[in-house]
Structure 1
Amino acid sequence: MSAIYLEFDFKVSPKTPFTDILMAELGSVGFESFEETEEGLMGYIQKEFWNENALQDLYSFENPLVEISYEQREVEQVNWNEEWEKNFDPIVVDGRCTVRAPFHEKATTEYEVIIEPKMSFGTGHHETTHMMIQLLLDTDLKEKDVLDMGCGTGVLAILAEKLGARHADAIDIDRWCYENSLENVERNSCRNIDVYEGDANLLEGKEYDVVIANINRNILLQDLEKYAAVLRKGGVLLLSGFYEDDIPILKEKCSSLKLNFTQKLEKNLWVALKFLNLRQIH
């Protein structure tokens, strides 16, 4: 018997960047799939898992900077993979790295990452992932130990290995992301990546040359001390998942940890920052 789904048609104004924020929040309350529209996005959740109060506590609906309205209806089960394949095109970053799905033709760029994201974030289409790929392409990773914190699909850890990293740990608190990363690591024939389900508490006793954290501002501020504690002297910290307005507070926190700001990228209001560790870990 086919599952019954609820289809939500969300109207979001302004659409950028709030559609991406809403999508992330909806994923945290059980929505399984999304499709971007001209006015916002369509979201789908199984009827049996729907909670009428699920949307009330979401930040997006309380944010005075955005207006969100929606309509809902029941639909029969959708073949999500088929719908996803219709809408997912390969991306090429700086002419050097292609992120594609298994059903796309083999890439001709220097680097290629094959990703089947399912419900996880990290196809390279989102601005933050795109910028992190750019930063990684310009970072010397040969024989380096790398941490991909909030790994999503595992795309950044996979690229790190392809760029010569000695070893990478990929960590995400979300079970679906953990499982998806395992699948994508195997799909790319990676041999030097360990995937973990959990948070920054897993970092105790670890050391890395490069730490990647593409998460949201609040989690970054909460966990920056833990990232700094495992980053070797001269190591590189790459941060994204936030906006231009968030830069001062993040730079101030990093400065207090003797992390020296060196580079900024910006794409459609999203930003990515690069820092160097000037202190010795203890």
Structure 2
Amino acid sequence: MPDLGLENSEEIHEFVKQYSGSKPIKRVLIANNGLAAVKCLISIRQWLQKQFNTSSVVSFVCIGTPDEMDAASHYLKLADEIIMAPRGKNSQNFANVDVIVSLALQAKVDAVYVGWGHASENPELPKRLLEHDIIFIGPSTSSIVASGDKIVSTIIAQSIGMPTVDWSGRDVKIAKNEVDFHGLREKATIRTVEEGLEAISKYGIGVPMMIKASEGSWIGIFIEVWIAKFKIRLTGKKEENGKKTSGKIEECSD
């Protein structure tokens, strides 16, 4: 069956109207690589074929890098178009909001899909895309902040009665219609060794304890089995990176 053509297809415009959409999506930028990109390409094309008897009504523009090109990554073989981003770690390409927005504008896409990982948990991306009338295929900025942030998501969970382990923000609760997520994070975050030791004492946090970075330069998550070594561990991480850090500590569950 020939391409329906988004501009002239009453069927597609009626479909968009039926589901209260604002406009048909003709071009999508896939700001991810590997499995996330492949699943997006295959799944949406299968749905388009089933819904409209053709998969060509949407064009997919994939972000490539010199590294991905050298590796002949499979997702690039499935792309309708490839647009290049800088070589290097993901902070230079797939996780870089400035790069993604710039490429989306350059490719003149209607929507951006990020999948999981990389920039998917960065609330700035949907906000920036909205400024350019580009659809973000994913949750809203507020939803990303609420569920993607380690500290805020734990506060929300304990505020609605879900059991949580003892941690440094145990007393912080979210009020109905609360929107100041930054303020909540501030109340529950530890930034110094002294604040950490105070939380351990106040909430009776035992060992082994888990120390999780929320921002800054801590290296992911690590576990400490001796409270006496907590100060050495935390100080060492800060000195190693030479930057301000923040995060939370919690007792490890079985």
Question: What's the TM-score, normalizing by structure 2?
Answer: 0.28
| Larger Rg over CA atoms | 2
Q: Which has the larger share of strand?
A: 1
Question: What's the TM-score, normalizing by structure 1?
Answer: 0.26
